[in-house]
Structure 1
Amino acid sequence: MRGADLINAALPDELLEDVIRRVGGGKRDLDACALVCRRWRRLERASRRAARLAASGERADEVLRLVAERFPALADVSVDERLTAAGAAGAAPRSRRPRQYTRCSSPMQARSPTPYRRRRRLPLSSLALHIAPFPLDPPPGFEGSERTCLTDVGLAHLARGCRGIEKLSLIWCSAISSTGLVRIAENCKNLTSLELQACYIGDPGLIAIGEGCKLLKNLNLRFVEGTTDEGLIGLVKNCGQSLLSLSVATCVWLTDASLHAVGSHCPNLEILSVDSDRVQNGGVISIAKGCRRLKSLRLQCIDAGDEALQAIGSFCLLLESLSLNNFLRFTDRSLSFIAKGCKNLTDLILNDCQLLTDSSLEYVARSCKKLARLKINGCQNMETAALEHIGRWCPGLLELSLIFCPRIQNSAFLEIGRGCSLLRSLYLVDCSRISDSALCHIAQGCKNLTELSIRRGYEIGDKALISVAENCKSLRELTLQFCERVSDAGLTAIAENCSLHKLNLCGCTLITDSGLTAIARGSPDLVVLDISVLRIISDIALAEIGDGCPKLKEIALSHCPEVTDVGLGHLVRGCLQVESCQMVYCRQITSAGVATIVSGCTRLKKLLVEEWKVSERTRRRAGPVLSFLCTGL
C-alpha cells in the first residue's frame, strides 16, 4: 500500500542492522540506506566496520573525535597523513545548494517533501568508506584554525571511542609518539594487526602494545624511528606467543638482538620479512631455530651468509615462500641446504644474488618438485643450464620471471616448453640473447599461457607472436615494450586468435593503424592499452579503438605525434569507461582535445598532460584529476 511503513514498524533494530550488513558493502548502497531516515542512519553508523582517515589538514584531532563518536563499531582503521581534505579518495563532496532532507518513518516517504528545509549532508556511513577532513560539519569555534597534523590527542579519542579496533594502520603520522600508542594499548584489547610506517615511536609505545594487546597477530614496522631493539624486544616478550606475521624494514636500529628475542618468544610465527644492514648470521640463525613454523620468509641482510641460510634449510621445514634480496656473501651451498630441507617450497625469488650459479637452481629443481613461481633478477652468473634444470624437474611451474639475465639463451626454453606445460605467466626483461625461437618453444609447449610480458626484447619479432597466437588461445595480457621488430603481421595474428584484456605496445615503432584496427576488432573486452611512442599511428586507430573497445579504462598515448583532437573525439564517444589517460608530448593535441577528454569521460580519475595545454575552464572543471608533466627541467 502506497505510503505505508512496512519495514520500520515490523523489524526490530537487530534485524534491520543485519539487513544493512547484507547490502553488500558498496558505498553507494550503504549511503542510500543511511539516507532513508534517521533510524536507518543511526543503525548504519552503528554497524560500520572500516574507515580510512586523513591525518593532516584542519582540525585533524577533532575529526578523529567526531568519527569515534559517530562510528563506535569501527574495527579496521587506517590513518594516513599523506591524505588531505582535498585529496583523499572517496571524500564526500559538499553540496553547494541546500537540498531537501526528508524526515520520514519509511523508505517510501523518503521522497516526499517536508515543511522544513535543512542542509543535506552525505553520511559517513559505509562499511568501508574513505573519510577526509572535513566531510563532517566543523564544530562551532573552530573557524579559522590553522592546519595541523594528527597528534596523540586524536589517537586517544579514537582509542576511547572505538574500543573494538582490531586492525590499525598509522602511515606517515609524524606527530604520533609513544603516548598515543599507550592509549591504544590501554583501550583496544582486541587489536590483532598493527602497521606503523614513518612514525616517530619510542620504545615505551611498542612495549605498551605488547603488554596490553595480547591478541596481536600481525606487526608491520617500516621507517619507524625513535625506538631501539629494546622496544621490539619488550613487545615480543609480552605478546610473542600470538604473533603470526612480522615485518621490519628500513629501521636502522634493528640488530641481531631483536631477532634473538623473536626467535625465543615467537614460536608460532609464520610470515617474516626483515630488511636491515645490521643483521648478521647470528640473528637469522636464532630465527630459524626458534620459528620453525615459518611458511614465508623475505630477507635482505647484506652481512648474512651461508651459515644463516643453512640454518633455515635445517630447521624451517614448512617453508613455502622464500625471497632473498641483495645477498653478497652466500653461495650455491646455501641453496643446496634450502633445497634439501624445504621440500614444500612453491615460491622462490632471487634478487641481485651475484655469487649464485646454475648449480643453485639444480639443487632446487631436483628437490623442490612443488615449485610454482620463480623470479630471477640480476643474477648474472646464471646461464642456460639453470633453466634447463627447472624445465626437467618442476612440471608444476606456473610463473617464470627473468630480469636482466644476459647469459640465458634460447635453448633453455626448449626444456621449459617440454616440461612446464602448466605455465601461465612469463616475464622477460632485458634478456638480450633471447629471440623468436625461445618464444616458439614456449608457445608450442605451454598452451595455457595467459600472460606474456617482454620488455626491451630487441630480438623478438613477428615469428614469435604468430606462434603464440596459434598455440596460446587463452592469452589475455600481452606486453611488448620496445620490441622494435614486432609489426602489424604479428599483432594481427594475436588479434585473430586471442581476445586481450591488457595490451602494452609502448615503443613498438613498426605498429601502424592497421595493427591497432585488428586489435580493436578482435579484443572487445580490452581494459588497458598503452600505445605510447608509436610515431606513425593516427586518428584512424583511435576511432577504431573507440568503436571496438567500449570497456577500456586506461589508455596511454604519449609521444604519438600524428594523433589530433579529432581522434580523441572519436575515442571518447565509444570508450565511456575511461578512468586514466596519459597523453604528453603529442604535438597536435591542443587544449580543445584536453577538454574533449574531460567532458567525454565522466569517470576520469587521472589525466597526465602538459600544463600549458589546459585551459582555465578545464582546470576549474577537472582540477583534482589533472597531473602535469614538468617540462621546465
Structure 2
Amino acid sequence: MRLHSMSSDSPISSPDSQPESPVSDLIDLTLLLSDELLLRVLSKFPDCERNLNFLVCKRWLNLQGRLVRSLRVTDFDFLLSGRLVLRFPNLNQVDLVSGCWVSSRNSSILMSHGVLSMHIDPWLLLYSNVGEKIVLESVLIDRGLKVLANGCPNLRKLSLVGGSEFGLLNVAKECELLQELELHKCSDCMLQGIAAFENLQILKLVGNVDGFFSSAVTDIGLTMVARGCRRLVKLELSGCEGSFDGIKAIGQCCPMLEELTLCDHRMDDGWLGGLQYCENLKTLKIISCKRIDANPGPDEYLSSCPALERLHLQNSQLRDSESVRALFMTCGAAREIFIRDCWGLDDDMFGFANNCWRVKMLLLEGCSVLTTEGLESVVLQWKELQSLEVESCKNIKDSCISPALSEVFSVLKNLKWRPDTKSLLSSSLVETCMGKKGGRFF
C-alpha cells in the first residue's frame, strides 16, 4: 500500500484522476512455494497459531488439514459423507466415541459418563439402560468405519462405540499399522473380527456399564483376543465377565503382555489363579471393583507372577480377607504397591501384604481405617523399602509412631507423610537422624 503525504507541498490531485487501488499492489508470495515446502513452514507454527491458518485461504485450509494427526469426531454424519477423510487425509488417531450416539441438541438435559457427554430427550430417562436407546445402528457404524479405513490407511489408534465384526474386519484389512483399539459396548460376537489385527498392542474392552448399556464379554471373547492379538502389551477389561480359563488363555497366547487392568469386573470365582500364566506381566491394576475374587481356591493353585513389579488398587472394596490374601500372594514379587481410596482395608487386611517382602515403594491414600500399628507391622518386615507416601489416612497418627518406625523413616530415600491436615512430626523424632540421609520432604 502506498502512503500519500498530507503536507502542503504535495500536489493536489484533480477530481478526474482515479486513485490507485491498494489491492492491485498486493501479491501472494506464498504461491511461489510448493505445497511440500509450505507444509514444512506451517508445521513450525505453535499450536495456538496453527489452528487459525485455515482462515487465510482455501489452499491453506487444505494444507492445514494435512497437518492434523489426531481428531475427536462428534458428528458421525461428517464421517459418513466422506468430508472427514477428504479434509484430514493424514489422520492416525481418531476418537469416534462421542459421535456414535443419537444426540438431541435441542434438549436441555446433558448426560455425562466417563469420556462422553450428550444431550438426551427426557423420555429416555425412563429406561434403565439409556445407552441402549441412543447408540447408532451397527450398520451405520460399520459403514463409517469402512469410509475411515479407506481414507486413512495409516491409522494407529481408534476408539468407537458399538459396531460389529464386519466393521472391524474392514479396519483391519486397510489399516495394517493399527496399534491401539478401544471398543465400548463390546460383545463376544463383535470380537470375532479382532483376530485380523496382527499388530495390535494396546486394547481396551468396555462391556457392561451399569445404568448405561449392557454387553457381555466372556471367556469366549477373551479366547478370541488371545489367539488373534498375540502382540498385546496392554489390556484393559472394563465391565467384562470371564474366569480362570479366559485369563489363562490371555497369559499363554500373549507372551508380550506387560500391563493388565481390570475395572468393575464381573469375573467368576477363581480367576486370580490364571495370572500365574502371564509370565511377563509387570503391572496389575484393579480399579472400581466391588470384589476381588470371592473364592480364589486352595493355595496350591495360586502362584506368584514372577515378573510383576507394580500393583495398583483404586476405589475398590477390600472387605473379603480370603480374596485380599490371595491377591497379595499372587503379587508376592511386587516392588511397588499403590493403594488409593479402597474401602475395608484395615490392619488385618493390610497385614497380608507381608507376602510382598520385596516392596521398595508404598503409597497409601484415602485408607481411613488403617492405623499406625497396622502400617508399622508391615513396614518393619520390608527390608528393601526405599519410598513411603501416606496421605489422607486419618487413623494414622503422629503420636503413635514408635522408635522402630522412626528408624525406618530415617533411612528412606523418599518420605511423604501427610496422613491428615494437622499432621506434624512428634517431638520424639527430634533425637533421631531424620532428614540427614537421602532426600525426603514432609
TM-score by length of 2: 0.65
Per-residue CA deviation, residues 566-616 of structure 1 (Å, 9 max, x unaligned), is: xxxxxxxxxxxxxxxxxxxxxxxxxxxxxxxxxxxxxxxxxxxxxxxxxxx
| Aligned mates of 2:41, 2:94 — CA distance in 1 | 23
Deviation at 1:275, TM superposition (A): 3.4
- Give the structure, 1 or 2, with the largest relative contact order (CA under 8 Å, sep 6 or more): 2
Q: Which amino acid aligns with 1:370?
A: R
Q: Which amino acid aligns with 1:177?
A: S
| Aligned mates of 2:245, 2:414 — CA distance in 1 | 44
Matched, 1:14 2:36: yes
CA contact (8 A) 1:335 1:363 kept: no
| Aligned mates of 2:75, 2:239 — CA distance in 1 | 28
| Aligned mates of 1:335, 1:404 — CA distance in 2 | 31
Compared CA separation, residues 37 and 311, structure 1 to 2 (3 A): closer
Per-residue CA deviation, residues 358-393 of structure 1 (Å, 9 max, x unaligned), is: 85577478x526336455723546528638738963
Deviation at 1:295, TM superposition (A): 0.7
**274, 288, 292: which is aligned to 1:311?**
274
Equivalences for residues 174-193 of structure 1 within 5 A: 174-185=135-146, 187=150, 188-193=152-157
CA contact (8 A) 2:94 2:157 kept: no
Q: Which amino acid aligns with 1:44?
A: Q
**Residue in 2 that maps onto 1:560:** none
Deviation at 1:280, TM superposition (A): 2.6
**Residue in 2 that maps onto 1:281:** 244
| Aligned mates of 1:61, 1:342 — CA distance in 2 | 49
CA contact (8 A) 1:47 1:73 kept: yes
CA contact (8 A) 2:194 2:224 kept: yes
**78, 86, 90: which is aligned to 1:73?**
90
Deviation at 1:268, TM superposition (A): 1.6
Q: Which amino acid aligns with 1:329?
A: A
**58, 74, 79: which is aligned to 1:54?**
74
Equivalences for residues 323-402 of structure 1 within 5 A: 323-324=285-286, 325=289, 326-331=291-296, 337-339=302-304, 341-349=305-313, 351-356=316-321, 363=329, 367-368=332-333, 370-371=335-336, 373-375=338-340, 377-380=342-345, 383=348, 386=351, 389=354, 393-395=358-360, 397=361, 399-402=362-365
Deviation at 1:68, TM superposition (A): 4.3
Matched, 1:245 2:202: yes
Matched, 1:230 2:193: no
**Residue in 2 that maps onto 1:448:** 414
Per-residue CA deviation, residues 421-477 of structure 1 (Å, 9 max, x unaligned), is: 643643345x5x321246794865556346x665xx5xx7353499999959875xx
| Aligned mates of 1:424, 1:291 — CA distance in 2 | 34
- Percent identity, aligned pairs only, is 17
Per-residue CA deviation, residues 527-571 of structure 1 (Å, 9 max, x unaligned), is: xxxxxxxxxxxxxxxxxxxxxxxxxxxxxxxxxxxxxxxxxxxxx
| Aligned mates of 2:164, 2:74 — CA distance in 1 | 23
| Aligned mates of 2:217, 2:328 — CA distance in 1 | 34
CA contact (8 A) 2:165 2:194 kept: no
Per-residue CA deviation, residues 63-85 of structure 1 (Å, 9 max, x unaligned), is: 96555443333333334248999
Q: Which amino acid aligns with 2:95?
A: S
**20, 29, 37: which is aligned to 2:49?**
29
Deviation at 1:412, TM superposition (A): 2.1
**256, 259, 265: which is aligned to 1:293?**
256
Deviation at 1:211, TM superposition (A): 4.8
Counterpart secondary structure, 2:235: strand
| Aligned mates of 1:376, 1:468 — CA distance in 2 | 29
| Aligned mates of 1:13, 1:436 — CA distance in 2 | 67
Counterpart secondary structure, 2:387: coil
Deviation at 1:336, TM superposition (A): 8.7
Counterpart secondary structure, 1:347: strand
Deviation at 1:257, TM superposition (A): 1.2
Q: Which amino acid aligns with 1:76?
A: Q
Per-residue CA deviation, residues 461-499 of structure 1 (Å, 9 max, x unaligned), is: 353499999959875xxxxxxxxxxxxxxxxxxxxxx8x
Compared CA separation, residues 387 and 311, structure 1 to 2 (3 A): closer
Q: Structure 1: state its 5+ residue gaps.
A: 87-146, 150-171, 476-497, 499-633
Q: Structure 2: state its 5+ residue gaps.
A: 3-24, 107-118, 122-132, 209-214
Counterpart secondary structure, 1:283: helix
Equivalences for residues 511-590 of structure 1 within 5 A: none
| Aligned mates of 1:296, 1:278 — CA distance in 2 | 18
Q: Which amino acid aligns with 1:243?
A: L
Q: Which amino acid aligns with 1:323?
A: K
User: In the comparison of the two structures, how many residue pairs are matched?
Assistant: 369
Q: Which amino acid aligns with 2:206?
A: A
| Aligned mates of 1:336, 1:463 — CA distance in 2 | 45
Q: Which amino acid aligns with 2:202?
A: S
Deviation at 1:269, TM superposition (A): 1.6
Counterpart secondary structure, 2:182: strand
Per-residue CA deviation, residues 129-148 of structure 1 (Å, 9 max, x unaligned), is: xxxxxxxxxxxxxxxxxx99
Compared CA separation, residues 391 and 370, structure 1 to 2 (3 A): closer
| Aligned mates of 1:360, 1:380 — CA distance in 2 | 15
Counterpart secondary structure, 1:312: helix
Compared CA separation, residues 72 and 203, structure 1 to 2 (3 A): closer
Matched, 1:259 2:217: no
Equivalences for residues 78-117 of structure 1 within 5 A: 78-79=95-96, 80-81=98-99
Deviation at 1:322, TM superposition (A): 0.8
Counterpart secondary structure, 2:135: coil
Per-residue CA deviation, residues 139-158 of structure 1 (Å, 9 max, x unaligned), is: xxxxxxxx999xxxxxxxxx
Per-residue CA deviation, residues 229-279 of structure 1 (Å, 9 max, x unaligned), is: 22212x12322x322222222342222211122222222222122234642
| Aligned mates of 2:27, 2:439 — CA distance in 1 | 56
| Aligned mates of 2:357, 2:244 — CA distance in 1 | 34
Compared CA separation, residues 334 and 285, structure 1 to 2 (3 A): farther
CA contact (8 A) 2:328 2:356 kept: no
Deviation at 1:41, TM superposition (A): 4.4
Q: Which amino acid aligns with 2:68?
A: R
Compared CA separation, residues 35 and 262, structure 1 to 2 (3 A): closer
| Aligned mates of 1:194, 1:335 — CA distance in 2 | 41
Compared CA separation, residues 182 and 212, structure 1 to 2 (3 A): farther
